[in-house]
Structure 1
Amino acid sequence: MAYYLNLFSPETYEAFTASNRTVSGFRLRQQQAARKIRIGDKLICYVTRLSRWIGVLEITSTYYKEDSPLFYEKDDPFVVRFKVRPIVWLPKEKAIPIRTERVWRTLSFTREYDPDYPYWTGKLRTSLNQLDDEDGRFLEQLMVAQATGGEVFPVDERDYQKLLSHRVRRLDKTVSVSVPQDTPDDGVVPPVEVRESIKIQALLASIGAKMGMRIWILRNDRSSVLAEWPNDRDVLLDELPLNYDETTLRTIEQIDVLWLRRRSIVRAFEVEHTTSIYSGLLRMADLLALQPNMDIKLHIVAPAERREKVFQEIRRPVFSLLEKGPLSELCTFLSYDSVRELVKERHLAHLSDEVLDEYAEEAE
C-alpha cells in the first residue's frame, strides 16, 4: 500500500463534497502516473489556495477513462478516474492547515524550511505524486483523529469566496476564470531579482541546448545571459528561421527564451521578475491571437512565491476567450526551483523535452 497526493482546488473540493464521494478524477496528462496506482493505495487530499489537508480516499479500482460529468456539468477535464472509498473527509473549518506547527515540523518536505517561504511546494506540484510512507501515515492518522474531535480552524467566508473561481461559457466549452485583486507596483525591480531572472534564462538555454534544441534569447538580455551561459555550441540563433508575417515575428522575438527544433518552435518561456506577471502573459496571448494554429508549449517561469499570482492572472476572463482555447489550458507555470531541479537531471542529452511536463504546473 502506498500514499499519493490528490490536489483539490476550492471549486473541486466543493464539488466533491457535494457528490457521493465515490469517484476521484484527474486530468488526461496524469494517465501515465495513474497506471502505477493499485487497489488499496490511498490518496492524501490537499486543497490548494486554502493550503489545508482535507481528507483520505482509498482506491477501490484500477484507473479508467470516462468523459461524463464529474465535477462540472459540462466540459469536465477530469477524465482519468478511480473509484474510491472515503476514509475521512473534513469540512473546511476542520481541515488542517499545512503550516500548523505539528504538521510543518513533521512532514519530510516542509520541516527543513521556514513556513514564510514557498520553496517547499515542489512536492505539491501535481496530483499523484507519491508521498513518503511516513508522511502518508502521519497525515492519515492526523485527519482520522481530526474527524472524531480535533481542533477547529476558522475560515473567513468572505476570504474563502475570493478563492473560488467563476465559470464562463465560451462557444466551445465552459472554463474557470478569476478576477485578481490589483496590487501596488511601483515598477522598480530590485537588481538582485533581475540578476536572478537572467540566471534562470541561462539555465533554460543550457537545458534546451543539451536536449539538442536551437535557442533564441531576447536580444535585450542576450549579452547578460551569455555571461552566465558559456555557449560552446552553435545553437544560439541570431535570426528566427520562421516564415510568419512581420507582426508575428516581432511578437515572437520579444519572448525571453525559445527552444526550436529545426524550423519549428517547440517551447516558449517568459521569465518574470516583475510584480504584475502580466507582460509575459500578454505576449503569450498576443502570439496565440496572431497564430491560433501554432502548436507551442508555453511556460511562465517565476519564483515559487509568485505561483498563485501567476495562476490568478492566467485565469483572467480576457485570457479565457482566445480562439485556440483558454490560456490557462495552454500555458503552464515553472518555478525557478523547478528549473534548478531540471538542470540537475542526469542524461539531459538523452531526454525528450516532454520531461518539462513533469515539472510544470497547471492552473487548477
Structure 2
Amino acid sequence: MAPTYWLDLFTAETWKEFLDNGGEVSGFSPRRFETVQRMKPGDLLLCYMTRVSRWVGLLEVTGDAFYDESLIWQSQVFPSRISVKVRIALQPEFGVPVLDMRDELTVFEGLSNPNLWSGPFRASPARWKQSDGEAIVRALQDAQADPVERPLGRHARTGQLSIDAETVETAQGSVSVPVDEQPEAANNVQSDSEAQPRTHTEIQYALLKLGSDMGFDVHVARNDISQEWNGRRLADVPRTREALPKQFDPATNRIIELIDVLWLDGGAIVAAFEVESTTSIYSGLLRMSDLVSMQPNISIPLFLVAGEKRREKVIEQVNRPTFARMQPPLHQICRYISFEGLRESLDRARGLVRYLKPDWLQEVSESCELDDVVD
C-alpha cells in the first residue's frame, strides 16, 4: 500500500534543533493536533525549509500522534507531535531547490500569476498528492546519492519572522494588526535621508539594466525619468520605453506609470518593481494595492525591493488587514527582494544575464506570506 505524503515545514534553525534532538519527534502547533492524529505509521513527511525554499529531508512516521510540551525547539513549543525516523537528512546547502522542480510538481500548474506558487508551502502538516510526493522522494534520493552544493545566499537567516502585532476581534473574526513602526533615532535621520535617494536610484538602474539585458523593454517611473546613477540617466538605459501598453484604462495607467520599474514584452508587463528606501514603505504598497483593486484579475508579478534590515517591516506592512483582505491578497502576489540579495545575485549572474528568464526572479525573491506553521 502506497504511503500518504505530508508537508513538514522547517526553518534552518528548527531543522538543526530537530536533528540535534535525535530526529525522533516532529512537532506542530496546538491547533494542528487533529490533523496530526490523521497520520499513520508508514506515512512520509516531506521536509521543506522555508526562506531557502528547499527540500532537505524525508521522515517516516513510526507511531501515533501525542501531545507533549517538553522543550525541543527554542522558537515555539510545537506540542502536537508524532514519532518519526529519519530516512533522508540533507544539510541546507545540499538541499533540493523547489524551483528546480517546476515541471514535476502539480502545485506549479495553472498559476494565474507566477508569484502564486508559494501558497501550498505556508502551513504544515498538509497532505500532498501522491505524484508530487513520489517526485520529491526521487529528488531527495538523487541529492543524497550525488550531492550538489548550492550557496544559500541572503535567504539563509535562521529563526522565524518576528512581527509586533495586536489581535483584535472584528465582525469577520480575529485580525492581527501590526504595530506602527517606531520613529528612527534622530542622530540617524540625516545620514539615512542622504543615502536613500542614491540607493533608490542605484537599485532602479540595476533593475532597468537587468531587464534590458534580458531582452525586455523597460519603463521607469515618470517622476524618476531624469534621475542619474554614476552619470548615467535612467531614461538612457537601452530599450527604455516612454509609452505604456494600452491594455488598461487611463486611471490604471496613471498608477502604472508611477511604479518604479517595469519590464515589458510587447504589450504585456512581465514584472513590476517598487523600490522602497524610505521609512514608510507605504507609497509603493498603495500603488500596488490600487493596481490590484482596479484590475483584480491582473497577472503581473509584483516585487517589493528594500534593504535587508527592513525585511520584517516590509512583510509586516504587506500583511496589514487593508492589503490582506484584497482579492487576491497582496501578500500572495507580491514577493520581496533585498538590495543586498539583488546585488549578490547580479554578481553571480555576470556574463549570463542574457540567458536568464523571468522565472529567475522567483529564485532571488521570497514570499511575503506569513508562515502559518513552521516546526
TM-score range normalised by the length of the shorter chain: 0.5 to 0.7
Partner of 1:258: 262
Summarize the Cα distance change of 1:65–1:293 in structure 2 as closer, same or farther, 3 Å threshold: closer
Could you tell me how far 1:305 is from its partner in structure 2?
Answer: 0.4
Could you tell me how far 1:242 is from its partner in structure 2?
Answer: 2.6
Whether 1:351 and 2:356 are equivalent positions in the alignment is: yes
Summarize the Cα distance change of 1:264–1:214 in structure 2 as closer, same or farther, 3 Å threshold: same
Q: Take 1:236 and 1:218, find their aligned partners in 2: how far apart are those partners?
A: 11
Could you tell me how far 1:177 is from its partner in structure 2?
Answer: 6.5
CA-to-aligned-CA distance 1:128-162 (integer Å, 9 cap, x gap): xxxxxxxxxxxxxxxxxxxxxxxxxxxxxxxx894
User: Which residue, 222, 225, 239 being the options, matches 1:235?
Assistant: 239
Partner of 2:180: 182
Relative to structure 2, which stretch is displaced further, 181-190 or 353-362?
181-190
Summarize the Cα distance change of 1:161–1:332 in structure 2 as closer, same or farther, 3 Å threshold: closer
TM-score under structure 2 length normalisation: 0.58
Conserved in 2, the CA contact under 8 Å of 1:203 and 1:229?
A: no
Partner of 1:314: 318
CA-to-aligned-CA distance 1:295-325 (integer Å, 9 cap, x gap): 11001100000000011111111112222x1
Conserved in 2, the CA contact under 8 Å of 1:25 and 1:70?
A: no
What are the equivalent positions in structure 2 for 1:39-54 lying under 5 Å apart?
Answer: none
| Unaligned runs of at least 5 residues, structure 2 | 1-8, 15-26, 61-71, 78-83, 90-95, 99-104, 108-118, 138-150, 371-375
Could you tell me how far 1:219 is from its partner in structure 2?
Answer: 2.1
Q: Take 1:169 and 1:196, find their aligned partners in 2: how far apart are those partners?
A: 43
* Count of aligned pairs between the two proteins: 279
Partner of 1:143: none
Letter in 1 for 2:360: V
Partner of 1:273: 277
Conserved in 2, the CA contact under 8 Å of 1:332 and 1:362?
A: yes
Letter in 2 for 1:183: E
SS of match in other structure, 1:353: coil
CA-to-aligned-CA distance 1:88-137 (integer Å, 9 cap, x gap): xxxxxxxxxxxxxxxxxxxxx99xxxxxxxxx84323999xxxxxxxxxx
Conserved in 1, the CA contact under 8 Å of 2:177 and 2:320?
A: yes
Partner of 2:45: 23
Conserved in 1, the CA contact under 8 Å of 2:212 and 2:238?
A: no
Whether 1:124 and 2:128 are equivalent positions in the alignment is: no
Letter in 2 for 1:355: W
Q: Take 2:170 and 2:11, find their aligned partners in 1: how far apart are those partners?
A: 23
Partner of 1:200: 203
CA-to-aligned-CA distance 1:35-69 (integer Å, 9 cap, x gap): xx56589xxxx999x699xxx98345999979999
Q: Take 1:14 and 1:164, find their aligned partners in 2: how far apart are those partners?
A: 20
Could you tell me how far 1:193 is from its partner in structure 2?
Answer: 1.7
Summarize the Cα distance change of 1:47–1:268 in structure 2 as closer, same or farther, 3 Å threshold: farther
| Unaligned runs of at least 5 residues, structure 1 | 85-108, 111-119, 128-159
Q: Take 1:286 and 1:30, find their aligned partners in 2: how far apart are those partners?
A: 30
Q: Take 1:302 and 1:192, find their aligned partners in 2: how far apart are those partners?
A: 13
Conserved in 1, the CA contact under 8 Å of 2:225 and 2:235?
A: no
TM-score under structure 1 length normalisation: 0.60
Q: Percent identity?
A: 29
Conserved in 2, the CA contact under 8 Å of 1:217 and 1:256?
A: yes
Letter in 1 for 2:156: K
Summarize the Cα distance change of 1:292–1:310 in structure 2 as closer, same or farther, 3 Å threshold: same
Q: Take 2:320 and 2:220, find their aligned partners in 1: how far apart are those partners?
A: 28
Could you tell me how far 1:342 is from its partner in structure 2?
Answer: 2.4
Partner of 1:145: none
Partner of 2:21: none
Structure possessing the higher relative contact order (Cα contacts under 8 Å, 6 or more residues apart): 2
Partner of 1:341: 344
Partner of 2:141: none
Summarize the Cα distance change of 1:252–1:27 in structure 2 as closer, same or farther, 3 Å threshold: farther
